[in-house]
Amino acid sequence: MIRIIAVLLAIWLALTILGAVVKGLVWLAVIGGVLFLGTAAYGAIKGKSRT
């Protein structure tokens, strides 16, 4: 019985860590996308002012 509880606790801990990593990666992807769009817009504006 204790072995089953230990396995369940290990699985729970792994899922908790995995969830935190995935959530962190999602936020990093959102921030990266926003920065990419901002850089693209800045480049487009600068490109228009040169011509």
* Average pLDDT rounded to a whole number, residues 11-24: 89
What integer pLDDT is reported at residue 46 of this predicted model?
Answer: 84
Task: Report residue 6's pLDDT band, with 50, 70 and 90 as the boundaries.
Answer: confident
* Average pLDDT rounded to a whole number, residues 37-41: 90
pTM of the predicted model as reported, rounded to 2 decimal places: 0.59
The structure tokens 């996308």 sit at 33
d(CA 43, CA 37): 10
Structure tokens at 32: 């990266």
* Average pLDDT rounded to a whole number, residues 10-25: 89
* Average pLDDT rounded to a whole number, residues 10-15: 90
Report the 3 state secondary structure along 35-46: HHHHHHHHHHHH
Rounded to a whole number, what is the distance in angstroms from the first to the last CA of the chain?
75
